[in-house]
């Protein structure tokens, strides 16, 4: 018998294949909220003040030339000169203006309002139950 005379036998082969997909499943949510918190604070600061005292000093003395403005420590002297007629013309120092500056420091306290934010984080599970709040405060 020849090989071609035999009927063909077909053996079916089977193969399993795997297919998969991903999907999002919500297990919980997070709610984040912020709020502004005001803090009253007492601020201390040194402030400088400067005062000026003006004194008129009569001189009534004859001079030969115009004197300029001069400094004597913290005192500024501004001469006021007047020409007077005599048989000849002379400069007469009528008065001087003495200006003295004094400086002193004053400590003041002033209430000041500052603001900061706090964050509240709340976890909500799939059943809708909220877990305890976690409040985060800013570092000072």
Q: Is residue 9 part of a domain?
A: no
Q: Is residue 29 part of a domain?
A: yes
Q: Is residue 33 part of a domain?
A: yes
Q: Is residue 89 part of a domain?
A: yes
Coil/strand/helix, residue 28: strand
HSE, CB side, 13 Å, CA atoms: give it for residue 109: 3
Q: What is the pTM of this model?
A: 0.39
DSSP secondary structure string, 91-107?
A: EEEEEEEEEEEEEEEEE
User: The dihedral of CA 108, 111, 112, 118: what is its sign?
Assistant: positive
Q: Is residue 18 part of a domain?
A: no
Structural domain for 66, as ranges: 25-136
HSE, CB side, 13 Å, CA atoms: give it for residue 102: 4
Q: Is residue 73 part of a domain?
A: yes
Q: Is residue 44 part of a domain?
A: yes
The pLDDT tens digits for 41-78 are 998 999 999 899 999 999 989 899 989 999 999 899 99
Give how many domains the chain has, as a whole number: 1
């Amino acid at each position: 018998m020849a090989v071609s005379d035999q009927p063909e036998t077909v053996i079916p082969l089977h193969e399993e294949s795997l297919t998969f997909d991903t999907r999002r499943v919500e297990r919980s949510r997070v709610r984040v909220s912020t709020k502004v918190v005001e803090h009253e604070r007492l601020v201390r600061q040194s402030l400088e003040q400067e005062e000026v005292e003006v004194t008129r000093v009569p001189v009534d003395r004859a001079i030969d030339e115009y004197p300029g403005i001069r400094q004597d420590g913290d005192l500024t002297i501004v001469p006021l000169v007047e020409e007077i007629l005599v048989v000849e013309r002379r400069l007469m120092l009528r008065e001087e203006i003495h200006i003295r500056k004094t400086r002193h420091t004053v400590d003041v306290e002033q209430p000041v309002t500052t603001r900061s934010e706090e964050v509240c984080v709340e976890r909500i599970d799939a059943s809708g139950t909220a877990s305890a709040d976690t409040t985060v405060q800013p570092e000072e």
